[in-house]
Chains A and B, each alone.
Chain A
């Protein structure tokens, strides 16, 4: 395992104005090669205008086993959705 290149997560911006989206991962020896590999693996069909890569090991993630305390409390807070306001017709679709 020690000889394996580190894993990188790849984020691509599809068009100007959109945000970068996670598209997948790949292996590369360093950041520069990770961007080149991402160009070759994930933008062959004109998918992007910008690439971000980040070492997978550098991403801090929430734990799936914490999903009860993290997410369930918000399920019963309907008043947090802005559905209780009357929107003037002039405003149109929001």
Chain B
């Protein structure tokens, strides 16, 4: 694996995380419990799709085979996606969506903080722009997790159930492989495992404020970021996200 091949793979992981989560969040558009949350979720989804354009755009450039962000987003099949499993999990209720958002935002903000110091200026520049958006995503999702966790009996029970459902998908974000090792050696990115301590501190504090108990099982599902095995949910998501380009190849406006 050359350095550019590793960088391409690494950029796909960044871009696919934001693409798939952005699409998932956009599924709430017009359905959120109140108008204000509906607009806030749509804003978050749009931020993530905007970041996707940058990450996948750069990935296509690095790959050098003429694929742009649109081609990468709409013309790959499930096994070519490199997002972590957490972001492809279905929305569930509003509480589960916000819990998923918080668990990812916390990781995302710590990751971007490191990437802003990347030895690759193109990566650092995108991370810098995205980190402002993600700081706000984190502030909002953390606030909502605390509000609902430390809320009524029902909201607390739903948030605890969401945490238990999603926690087994947290570990994958911190697993490393040859791509991560190559990126760390080149100074492009940090070893994912090195982000865990900051993550645990941040997530522990917020979930503590939310009066929620972190499950003590260390079990972690894997296979998303390496592409070896996605959940069944990704294929369903792609059929909806990609249908237009599949039905009308090359369509644009």
B36 at the interface (CB under 8 A from A): yes
Residue of B nearest to A34 (CB): B36
CB-CB under 8 A from B43, the residues of chain A are 40, 44
Q: A40-B40, A44-B43 are in contact. Are A32 and B34 (CB under 8 A)?
A: no
Residue of A nearest to B46 (CB): A44
CB-CB under 8 A from B40, the residues of chain A are 36-37, 40-41
CB-CB under 8 A from A40, the residues of chain B are 36, 39-40, 43
A20 at the interface (CB under 8 A from B): no
Is A33's CB under 8 angstroms from B39's CB? no
Complex Cα spacing A27 to B38, Å: 12
> Which residues 20-36 of A sit at the B interface, judged by CB distance below 8 A?
26-29, 32-33, 36
Is A41's CB under 8 angstroms from B39's CB? yes
CB-CB under 8 A from A27, the residues of chain B are 34-36
Residue of A nearest to B34 (CB): A27
B140 at the interface (CB under 8 A from A): yes
B143 at the interface (CB under 8 A from A): yes
Number of A positions contacting B (CB below 8 A): 13
Complex Cα spacing A26 to B39, Å: 12
B147 at the interface (CB under 8 A from A): yes
Is B36's CB under 8 angstroms from A29's CB? no
> Which residues 146-199 of B sit at the A interface, judged by CB distance below 8 A?
147
Complex Cα spacing A51 to B34, Å: 21
Q: A37-B40, A40-B43 are in contact. Are A29 and B143 (CB under 8 A)?
A: no
CB-CB under 8 A from A28, the residues of chain B are 36
CB-CB under 8 A from B139, the residues of chain A are 36
Residue of B nearest to A37 (CB): B36
**B213 CB to closest chain A CB, in angstroms?**
24
Complex Cα spacing A18 to B152, Å: 42
Is A36's CB under 8 angstroms from B140's CB? yes
Residue of B nearest to A38 (CB): B36
> Which residues 122-159 of B sit at the A interface, judged by CB distance below 8 A?
136, 139-140, 143, 147
Complex Cα spacing A27 to B40, Å: 13
Residue of B nearest to A44 (CB): B43
CB-CB under 8 A from A39, the residues of chain B are 136
Residue of B nearest to A28 (CB): B36
CB-CB under 8 A from B140, the residues of chain A are 36
Q: Which residues of B contact A (CB under 8 A)?
A: 34-36, 39-40, 43, 136, 139-140, 143, 147
28 interchain pairs, CB-CB under 8 A: A5-B34, A26-B35, A26-B36, A27-B34, A27-B35, A27-B36, A28-B36, A29-B147, A32-B143, A33-B143, A33-B147, A36-B40, A36-B139, A36-B140, A36-B143, A37-B36, A37-B40, A39-B136, A40-B36, A40-B39, A40-B40, A40-B43, A41-B35, A41-B36, A41-B39, A41-B40, A44-B39, A44-B43
Known A-B contacts: A26-B36, A40-B43, A41-B35. Give 10 more (CB < 8 A): A5-B34, A26-B35, A27-B35, A29-B147, A33-B147, A36-B139, A39-B136, A40-B36, A41-B39, A41-B40
